[in-house]
Amino acid sequence: MSAPQNKTIRHFLDLHHFDTATLRAILDDAATMKRNRAAYADRLRGRTLAMIFEKPSTRTRVSFEVGMMQLGGNVVVLKHDDMQLGRGETIADTARVLSRYVDAIMVRTGPETRLQELAAHAAVPVINGLTNESHPCQIMADIQTFEERCGPIAGRIVAWTGDANNVATSWVHAAVRFGFTLRLACPKPLRPPAALMDWANAEGTGAVVNMDTPEEAVRGADCVVTDAWVSMNHSMEEKQERYDALGPYQVNERLMGLAKPDGIFLHCLPAHRNEEVTDAVIDGPRSAVWDEAENRLHAQKAVLAWCMDA
Residues known to be catalytic: 108, 135, 138, 227, 268, 296
| CA 298 to mean position of chain CA atoms | 13
Identity of residue 77: V
Could you tell me which residues are beta bridge partners of residue 159?
Answer: 183, 224
Contact at 8 Å (CB) between 157 and 222?
A: yes
Tell whether omega for the bond before 270 is within 30 degrees of 0, i.e. cis: yes
Q: Is the dihedral of CA 257, 272, 275, 14 positive or negative?
A: negative
Beta-sheet strands, E only, within the chain: 48-53, 74-79, 104-108, 126-130, 157-161, 181-185, 207-211, 223-226, 264-267
| CA 293 to mean position of chain CA atoms | 11
Q: Which helix (H) or strand (E) holds 39?
A: none
CB atoms within 10 A of CB 6: 4
Distance CA 7, CA 107 (A): 22
Contact at 8 Å (CB) between 139 and 173?
A: yes
Identity of residue 143: I
